[in-house]
């Protein structure tokens, strides 16, 4: 078995129009920028994929990564908890112009909906959002005298995530707080594509240290020195670069 | 004596109630300041929603690792005893009642313990983050805030007028003038600035203050 893929272009080649795509990361930490940029390259070359529903904690920052994906008009709907950032203009303008739909989900509910999607749990009850605008229209039930809001699972056709290391079986370890949503999204997508800084031999990752077992991973591609969104933004980067 | 506490002094006062060994989440912005004023000899363990327990202070400029940030997306550091975990575990810590204290900012707090701190109304782009999760689960949900708005309107009210973050969730409010507990749907005055009379404080508060036998002077060092 070998789940490795030769290029980021091949890694994102199957994502169709209208797909639900989970993109890992919390802001730039753990964001699979190279996979997202490969998706933009494909769109610029072929016109596909478009009309994507993207699940991410945020809505991009600046003009790279998720913000660039939105800027290209590839995203029809965003499911997220916090569509603000240091430079949220790309999303803000599209949202205020009615060009992108937003489903706002409290952060812990977003994480748990994704986890539930990966775990085969179609719905669960949470105290979060009870009595607020974000609970409107959702069933409420009392358990042991306290009210809880019912939330549905969240699943995806594809997940694009980032890890530090992976072996050809798809076993993954992450880097510090860049773990965040990545292991959950790996579980919740029909196909999970991972960019890793290094592909290692099976056995090189201590089985006790595996964070995401390979069963949740369908493809992985090596991006040896991945960009950091924060550093790209500090340098004023845009994707794709505008020819001078 | 000052007329009101500065933000730094409010943060200092809130920090005095955090016990040794407490697991604490500080909201983004103003509440983050509380971490600076841990009393000597006490060690609290700070939780950040994006998956770190026991993180250290900000690194020097130029030494940031952007895979190592807090919920406010600022760079932090590791220290001995730091733990990383994914987002579902992080919010299990929150909702599961494992945190001892969450300290948050507020637009309004109602005497019922309702909190409004995420939205000022329907304009613009709505964003909630982890606020609605954090108000559930921590054993104590404390708010730090100015006592009144910039226009002088009470922030402690009978019922919130802004969109709610949570219902009946706040247990204590540290303001620029007083420390007030929320008990059985009432504001109970625990401490107030000595320069301020109870009736003066009442006029700046949008709901009735319950007065226990002992009201302590709120005394905070110049910081």
The pLDDT of residue B1: 42
Fold of A4-131+139-203+215-231: Glutaconate Coenzyme A-transferase (3.40.1080)
d(C-alpha A231, C-alpha A237), whole Å: 9
Q: Do B167 and A131 touch (CB under 8 A)?
A: yes
- List the single residue in B with minimal CA-CA distance to A114: B88
Listed by start position, the domains of chain A span 4-131+139-203+215-231
Nearest-CA distance B141 → chain A (Å): 14
d(C-alpha B178, C-alpha B196), whole Å: 10
pLDDT (tens place) for every residue of chain A, 244 residues total: 999 999 999 999 999 999 999 999 999 999 999 999 999 999 999 999 999 999 999 999 999 999 999 999 999 999 999 999 999 999 999 999 999 999 999 999 999 999 999 999 999 999 999 999 999 999 999 999 999 999 999 999 999 999 999 999 999 999 999 999 999 999 999 999 999 999 999 999 999 999 999 999 999 999 999 999 999 999 999 999 865 4
Q: Which of B64, B86, B165 sits opposite A180 (nearest CB)?
A: B86
Q: In CATH, what number is assigned to the domain containing residue B64? A: 3.40.1080.10
Contact A177, B84 (CB under 8 A): yes
Q: Is B183 one of the annotated active-site residues of the chain?
A: no
pLDDT (tens place) for every residue of chain B, 223 residues total: 448 999 999 999 999 999 999 999 999 999 999 999 999 999 999 999 999 999 999 999 999 999 999 999 999 999 999 999 999 999 999 999 999 999 999 999 999 999 999 999 888 899 999 999 999 988 999 999 999 999 999 999 999 999 999 999 999 999 999 999 999 999 999 999 999 999 999 999 999 999 999 999 999 999 8
How many CB pairs lie under 8 A apart between chains A and B? 145
B-facing residues of A in 25-54 (CB < 8 A) are: 26-30
Q: Which residues of B131-161 are buried (b: 16+ CB within 10 A; e: fewer)?
A: bbbbbbbbebbbbbbbbbeeeeebbbbeebe
B-facing residues of A in 121-180 (CB < 8 A) are: 126-134, 174-180
Nearest-CA distance B144 → chain A (Å): 21
Q: Which of B49, B108, B111, B191 is catalytic?
A: B49
Domain that holds residue B147: 7-217
Domain count, chain B: 1
Tokens of B86: 């994914």
The answer to whether B133 faces chain A, any CB pair under 8 Å, is yes
Asked if residue B205 is part of any domain, the answer here is yes
pLDDT digits 0-9 by tens, A142-168: 999 999 999 999 999 999 999 999 999
Q: DSSP string covering B89-121, please?
A: HHHHHHHTT--SEEEE--SEEETTS-EE-S-SS
Asked if residue B2 is part of any domain, the answer here is no
- Cβ contacts (< 8 Å) between A82 and chain B: which residues? 127-129
Tokens of B37: 């004023």
Whole-angstrom CA distances from B59 to A25, B46, B63, B64 are 21, 16, 6, 6
The answer to whether B127 faces chain A, any CB pair under 8 Å, is yes
Going by their DSSP bridges, the two strands A75-80 and A123-126 should be labelled as unpaired
A-facing residues of B in 71-90 (CB < 8 A) are: 73, 78, 84-88, 90
Asked if residue B213 is part of any domain, the answer here is yes
The answer to whether B32 faces chain A, any CB pair under 8 Å, is no
Quick count: other Cβ atoms within 10 Å of Cβ A45?
A: 9
pLDDT digits 0-9 by tens, A112-133: 999 999 999 999 999 999 999 9
What is the rounded end-to-end Cα distance, in angstroms, of chain B? Answer: 13
A-facing residues of B in 41-70 (CB < 8 A) are: 48-52, 64-69
Closest CA to A197 of A181, A180, A174: A174
Q: Do A107 and B78 touch (CB under 8 A)?
A: no
Asked if residue B16 is part of any domain, the answer here is yes
Contact B177, B193 (CB under 8 A): yes
């Amino acid at each position: 078995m070998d789940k490795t893929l030769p290029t980021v272009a091949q890694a994102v080649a199957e994502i169709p129009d209208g797909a639900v795509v989970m993109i890992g990361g919390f802001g730039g930490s753990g964001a699979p920028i190279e996979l997202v940029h490969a998706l933009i390259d494909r769109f610029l070359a072929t016109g596909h994929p478009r009309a994507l529903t993207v699940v991410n904690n945020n809505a991009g920052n600046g003009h790279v990564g998720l913000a660039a994906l939105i800027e290209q008009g590839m995203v029809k709907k965003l499911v997220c908890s916090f569509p603000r950032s240091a430079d949220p203009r790309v999303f803000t303008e599209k949202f205020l112009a009615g060009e992108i739909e937003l489903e706002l989900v409290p952060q812990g509910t977003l994480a748990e909906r994704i986890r539930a999607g990966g775990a085969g749990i179609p719905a669960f009850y949470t105290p979060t959002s009870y009595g607020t605008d974000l609970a409107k229209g959702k069933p409420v039930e009392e358990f042991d005298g306290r009210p809880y809001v019912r939330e549905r699972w969240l699943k995806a056709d594809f997940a694009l995530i980032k890890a530090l290391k992976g072996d050809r079986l798809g076993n993954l370890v992450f880097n510090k707080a860049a773990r965040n949503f990545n292991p959950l999204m790996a579980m919740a997508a029909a196909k999970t594509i991972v960019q890793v800084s290094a592909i290692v031999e099976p056995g090189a990752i201590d089985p006790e240290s595996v964070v995401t077992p390979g069963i949740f991973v369908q493809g992985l591609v090596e991006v040896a020195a991945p960009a950091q969104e924060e550093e790209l933004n500090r340098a004023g980067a845009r994707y794709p670069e505008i020819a001078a | 004596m000052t007329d009101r506490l500065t933000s730094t002094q409010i943060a200092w006062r809130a920090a005095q109630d955090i016990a040794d060994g407490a697991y604490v989440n500080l909201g983004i912005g103003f509440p983050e300041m509380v971490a600076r004023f841990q009393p000597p000899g006490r060690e609290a363990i700070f939780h950040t929603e994006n998956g770190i327990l026991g993180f250290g202070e900000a690194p020097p400029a130029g030494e940031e690792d952007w895979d190592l940030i807090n919920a406010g997306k600022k760079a932090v550091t590791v220290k001995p005893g730091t733990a990383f975990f994914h987002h579902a575990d992080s919010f299990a810590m929150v909702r599961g009642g494992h945190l001892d204290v969450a300290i948050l900012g507020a637009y309004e707090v109602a005497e019922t313990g309702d909190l409004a701190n995420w939205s000022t109304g329907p304009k613009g782009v709505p964003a909630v983050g982890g606020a609605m999760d954090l108000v559930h689960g921590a054993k104590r949900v404390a708010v730090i805030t100015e006592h009144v708005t910039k226009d002088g309107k009470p922030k402690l009210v009978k019922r919130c007028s802004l969109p709610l973050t949570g219902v009946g969730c706040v247990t204590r409010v540290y303001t620029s003038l007083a420390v007030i507990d929320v008990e059985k749907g009432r504001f109970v005055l625990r401490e107030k600035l000595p320069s301020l009379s109870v009736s003066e404080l009442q006029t700046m508060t949008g709901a009735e203050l319950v007065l226990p036998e002992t009201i302590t002077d709120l005394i905070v060092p110049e910081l």
